[in-house]
Amino acid sequence: MSHFDARTLPSGPLEDHIRIQPGSARARGQWAVLLMYFALPGGLVGQAGSVELRELATRMDEARAAATHLLAPRTFARAADRLADAARRFEGDGVDDAFRQRIAEARASLTDAERIAATGRERFAETLSVRAAAVVAEAEVRAPESWQKAEAEFEEAGRRFERDNVEDATRRAAQASTLYATAARSAWRDRHLSSALAARAEAVSARAVDFAPETFAEGEGFLATGEEEIANGNTGASAARAGQEAQGAFEQASAVALLADSVRRSTVTVERLILAHEADLRTVAQAAGVETARGVPSETSGRLVNEVQRLKSEISRLTEELGVSREAVQRLEAQVSALEGRLTDSERRFAETRDELLQRRQRERRIQEAQGLFTPEEAEVFLVGDRLVLRLLGLTFESGSADILETHAGLLTKVQRVITTFGGSGVRIEGHTDSSGPATNNQALSQRRAIAIREHLLARIPISSSMVEAIGLGEEQPIAPNETEEGRARNRRTEIVITLPEGGG
């Protein structure tokens, strides 16, 4: 069923625009749905109630598309009647209690119809399948009489099913299946063979049976093949091709019969027919570049046959060459694809190498900047693997003390700057001493000094305390001999070890 735009609805009484007699359940369903589209004047569209009417009408339209009107015709018709009554009341009195009641009754009946139809679809699945095939064949348009008989029989089966007369309903549905199948065959016959049947009628009228019996018989053969294909359910290309062949044969038979009749009535002489044939043959020969000899049609035909065979051979050779070329193109495309893949991989590796180089250069630049912050007396800055070491030679403590002197504030500020710049994965503060005194005392002293520096830095750098470690190593890792004063001075040191982040920092 077609849908209509409310903006284009006609005005005036419904009876002036629609003339459907609601005699059957199907007709009443159509009438109710059409009423919904036509009965709302422009001033009422959009008012309270119109949305309910249109939503319910749409739902009924969808139910009809699902064959609910056939599987539960009485219940569906009751829903349609209630909906039509609601629409009439809405047009006259608007939304009132009666309108609400009719809408509720229509919804309830439609729900019941959908429930019954759901059960019916399982029981009558085969009939619905045959009906769907008839729809595909356009039986409603191409075989309307058979289609209407099938629909009526299926509707009657649904009516019996509603009354729980399952056995009778099943018998009726089987009859409907037969009628749908007949309608489908008639529709396919109309689609594939109607032109051939029309051509046959013209051939019979032209007395092709007498004047062109062989060609007419050939058409009959093709027509019989088409009929057999459709009867066997082969409604695709084979049936269509048989219909086309039959049509061509009948049309040729008609043409031959008309010429024969003209000769019989002396309207056209045999000489004129032969000359016309030779003229046609020369025209074809000239188009093919073949020399012709007057009055020797067989020689011309032979040359044409040779030329056709030569062209077919040339086409075969070109087709083979085309196949070879296509294979070569496919090989080249495969090579191009492989090269593109290699190029993409190379570009990826180049980008990774470039990024790594840039990161390395950036890290080297930062290390150089860090080295430039300190004087040789203050610190040594160097890289060990992925760790940056600040050897603070200028950070000294009074004997036995772990207190940071005010004179070291500038040096520690530089340390803070380096830590902030690199923002590594972790910072370790190592305290070292010379070998003077007991080793246990030296280790404890170096630990206190490392902790003091850690606390000093944490108070001034926005970094998590979990990332900064303080460790006292005492006299375990000397960097110079402890036998000289100069060596012992170098060993009394603090080292800041910064673990650089992955990628170079």
pLDDT per residue as tens digits for the range 96-109: 888 999 999 999 99
Angle at the Cα of 51 from the Cα atoms of 45 and 57, rounded to 5 degrees: 105
Total tally of structural domains belonging to the chain: 3
Q: Does any domain span residue 457? A: yes
Beta strands in 70-126 (DSSP E): none
Rounded CA separation 244/232 (Å): 18
Query: Side chain identity at 154, as an amino acid letter?
Result: F
State the pLDDT at residue 31. 47
Cβ neighbours for 251, distance < 8 A, ≥ 6 positions apart: 199, 202, 203
Does residue 288 lie in a domain region? no
- Tokens representing 427 are 């910072």
In a domain, 197, yes or no: yes
Task: Check residue 232 and report its DSSP letter.
Answer: T
Amino acid letter, residue 81: D
The answer to whether residue 349 sits within a structural domain is no
In a domain, 365, yes or no: no
Looking at the structure, tell me whether residues 164 and 54 fall in a common domain. no
Spatial distance between the Cα atoms of 430 and 425, rounded to a whole number of angstroms? 17
Which residues, in sequence order, are CB contacts of 29 under 8 Å at separation 6+?
Answer: 60, 64, 69, 76, 77, 80
Of 75, 99, 123, which one is at a domain's C-terminal end? 123
Task: Identify whether the C-beta of residue 20 lies closer than 8 Å to the C-beta of residue 34.
Answer: yes
> What is the per-residue pLDDT for 50?
83
Q: Does 106 share its domain with 173? A: no
DSSP 106: H
Q: Judge if 47 and 158 occupy the same domain.
A: no
CA distance 256 to 249: 10
Q: Do 114 and 150 have their domain in common? A: no
Specify whether 392 is located in the same domain as 495: yes
Which residues on adjacent β-strands are paired with residue 428? Answer: 469, 497
Quote the CA–CA distance of 150 and 144 in Å, as a whole number.
10
Report helix, strand and coil shares of the chain as percent, to nearest 5: 70, 5, 25
Q: Which residues contact 421 (CB under 8 A, 6 or more apart)?
A: 366, 369, 370
Same domain, 495 and 383: yes
Q: How far apart are CA 186 and CA 175, in angstroms?
A: 17
Name residue, tokens 């032209």: 206
What is d(CA 472, CA 427) in angstroms, rounded to the nearest whole number?
14
- Number of neighbours of residue 331 by Cβ within 10 angstroms: 10
- Indicate whether 453 belongs to any domain: yes
- At 133, list the tokens: 């095939």
* 182 lies in the same domain as 244: yes
- Same structural domain for residues 254 and 136? yes
Domain boundary among 123, 142, 164: 123
Residue 286 lies in a domain: no
The parts of the chain modelled with pLDDT lower than 70 are 1-48, 266-282, 285, 290, 292-300, 423-424, 502-505
Same domain? For 395 and 424 the reply is: yes
pLDDT at 500: 85
Q: Are residues 379 and 492 in the same domain?
A: yes
Instruction: Residue 379: give its domain's CATH number.
Output: 3.30.1330.60
Beta-bridge partners for 472 = 431
Domain range for 215 is 132-262
Look at phi and psi of residue 503 and say left if phi exceeds 0, alpha if psi is from -120 to 50, else beta. Answer: left
The type of residue at 406 is E
Co-location of 86 and 177 in the same domain: no
Question: The tokens of 489 are what?
Answer: 């001075």
Write down the residue that tokens 């990024």 correspond to: 355
Question: Same structural domain for residues 142 and 116?
Answer: no
**Residue finishing a domain among 214, 244, 262:** 262
Determine the Cα–Cα distance for residues 480 and 124; give it in Å rounded to an integer: 102
> Using only C-alpha atoms, what is the Rg of the chain?
50
Distances (CA, A) of 190 to 137, 196, 249: 10, 10, 18
From CA 375, how far away is CA 190, in angstroms rounded? 104
CA trace torsion 400, 404, 406, 407 (10° rounding): 70
On whether the CB atoms of residues 468 and 415 are closer than 8 A, the answer is no
- Per the domain annotation, does 311 fall within a domain? no
Residue-wise DSSP of 303-320 = HHHHHHHHHHHHHHHHHH
| Residue 71 near residue 26 (C-beta atoms within 8 A) | no
| Sheet of strand 426-432: strand arrangement | 380-384, 387-392, 493-499, 426-432, 468-474
